[in-house]
Each structure stands twice: as C-alpha cells, then as structure tokens.
Amino acid sequence: MTQPPKPTPPERPARHGPPVEVAQEVFDVQGQETARLLARVVGTNALESGGRDEVPWVRVERERLPHVAERCRDDQSLRMDMLHLLLAVDYVEHLEVVYILLSTQTLRKAMLKARVPANDAQVPTATHLWEAAHWYEREVHDLFGVTFTGNPDLSPLLLYEGFEGHPGLKSFPFHDHDEF
C-alpha cells in the first residue's frame, strides 16, 4: 500500500486591500557607525547589507556565518560578546538563519544573515563561540529542521521525542495535525 501523497500546502491567498507599503530603512547615528564598523569587519564576505535604526545587517554565505560571527566577537571596535538571538525565517523557497549579536561593552547590535536552501538546510554550528548557541540551535532545529553541523546535541528541546515534522515551517500542515 502506498502512502497517499502529502497535500501541498495551500498557496497564500491573493491579498485584497491597500497596497503594500515597504518600510524605509534609515539608520540613526549609532546605526550608521555600527554599519561602517560592521562593513569593515565583514569585508568581502558581505553579499548584501542594509538595516534600520541602530541595527545594521549583513548577508553572508552560510558556510562563513560562524566565521564572520567570530570576527565580530573578537573585533576590538565591535566586541559583540553576546549572541542575543539566533533564529530562522521560512521564506518557502529558502530559509534564512539570522544571528542577532549584541555587545554589552560597546552597546552595538548587528544582524548576520545567511540564506539556506530549503532542501539542504545545513549551517555550521556556533556552539564553540557562545554557550547560548546550544539551545538556540536546538530550537531552530526543532522548529525549522535546520541542521547545525558540528552541534554535539540536536535532540528535541521544545518538542517531544519522536515528533515528526518541523512546525515552524510555513509548509507544516497545521490543521491536519493530530493532537498529541
């Protein structure tokens, strides 16, 4: 007996309503400075950059992500000593892994982003850089199925053992899912 094909996730319905506005990305004074420093630290690794207010962001290749993060951490002008947040966003055709770094000394914030193809969701781990990365990566692995290569323990953190699927993804069939 063959498995019935999984239903394709429904398309997001065409929107009706007012035209979509796009937020203007304007740096404040601190943001400009941080963006300048960040650009210098990231250097040629940067694929794309932007940001708003006090938080600049830089997109890098996913293999370079921990490396760039390490440079941000060790750089004397940035000193991003805290991994403030690690998250993933599901853009259906690809995932985006975002590090939000923060410095408790220079008080600067920055985001590092990396695109991850949905069918090969792998990113090098950052657990050797920050203790905090352990749980963040387990959570992202739970909810988005991103595998952090090199992470010693990617067992389920928020979900129960044996849970199938990754409920953070847009494709997760929420309404067909059985109650636990």
Determine the Cα angle at 66 with ends 63 and 68, to 5°. Answer: 95
- Residue 1 C-beta: closest distance to other proteins, Å: 32
- Contact between residue 156 and residue 138 where contact means Cβ atoms under 8 Å apart: yes
Distance linking the first and last C-alpha atoms of the chain: 26
Q: Which of residues 66-125 bind other proteins (CB under 8 A)?
A: 81-85, 87, 89-90, 98, 100, 104, 107, 109, 111
**Member of 5, 7, 17, 162 binding other proteins (CB under 8 A):** 17
**Which range in 3-11, 37-45, 61-69, 131-139 contacts other proteins by CB under 8 A?**
131-139
Q: Does 145 bind other proteins (CB under 8 A)?
A: no
Count of residues that interact with other proteins, criterion CB under 8 A: 44
Query: Among 39, 88, 94, 89, which residue's Cα sits nearest to residue 68?
Result: 39
* Closest by Cα among 136, 91, 99, 140 to 117: 91
Candidate segments 33-41, 62-70, 118-126, 160-168, binder of other proteins by CB under 8 A: 160-168
What's the number of CA atoms in the CB half-sphere (13 Å) around residue 8? 4
Angle between helical axes of 65-74 and 29-42 (0-180°, round to 10): 120
> Which chain residues interact with other proteins by CB under 8 A?
15, 17-26, 28, 52-55, 81-85, 87, 89-90, 98, 100, 104, 107, 109, 111, 130-132, 134-135, 143, 156-160, 167-168, 174
